[in-house]
Amino acid sequence: MDAGLVAAQLLNGLQLGVLLFLLASGLTLIFGIMDFVNLAHGSLYMVGAYFCATLTDATGSFLLAVALALPATALVGAAVELLVVRRLYRRDHLDHVLATFGLILCFDALVQIIWGPEGMAIRLPAWADGQQHLPGGLVFPTYRLLIIGAGLAVAAGLYVLVVKTKLGMRIRAGASNPAMAGALGIDIGLLFTLVFALGAVMAGLAGMMIAPITEASIGMGNEIIITAFVVVIVGGIGSIRGAFVAALLIGLIDTMGRSFLDMGLKLVIDVQAAETSAPALSAMLIYILMAAVLAFRPQGLFPPKAR
Residue 243: CB minimum distance to other proteins, A: 20
Residue selected from 84, 145, 167, 226 as contacting other proteins according to rule CB under 8 A? 226
Residue 14: CB minimum distance to other proteins, A: 11
Sign of CA dihedral 241, 243, 246, 248: negative
* CA atoms of 54 and 212, how far apart (whole Å): 12
* CA atoms of 13 and 251, how far apart (whole Å): 5
Size of the site for other proteins (CB under 8 A): 48
* DSSP-derived secondary structure for 90-127: TS-HHHHHHHHHHHHHHHHHHHHHHH-TT-B--PPPHH
Question: 173 or 208, CB closer to other proteins?
Answer: 208
Within residues 118-147, the interface with other proteins by CB under 8 A covers 118-124, 129-131, 139, 141, 143-144
Residue 225: CB minimum distance to other proteins, A: 10
Beta pairing, strands 138-141 & 131-134: antiparallel
Q: Does 12 bind other proteins (CB under 8 A)?
A: yes
Residue selected from 54, 73, 217, 239 as contacting other proteins according to rule CB under 8 A? 217
* CA atoms of 293 and 248, how far apart (whole Å): 16
Q: Does 223 bind other proteins (CB under 8 A)?
A: yes
* CA atoms of 256 and 91, how far apart (whole Å): 40
Q: Does 41 bind other proteins (CB under 8 A)?
A: no
* CA atoms of 41 and 39, how far apart (whole Å): 5
Within residues 71-110, the interface with other proteins by CB under 8 A covers 108
- Give how far Cα 274 sits from Cα of 57, 256, 263, 266, Å: 45, 16, 8, 6
* Residues in contact with other proteins by the rule CB under 8 A: 2, 4-5, 8-9, 12-13, 15-16, 108, 112, 117-124, 129-131, 139, 141, 143-144, 210, 212-215, 217-220, 222-223, 226, 255, 258-259, 262, 275-276, 278-280, 283
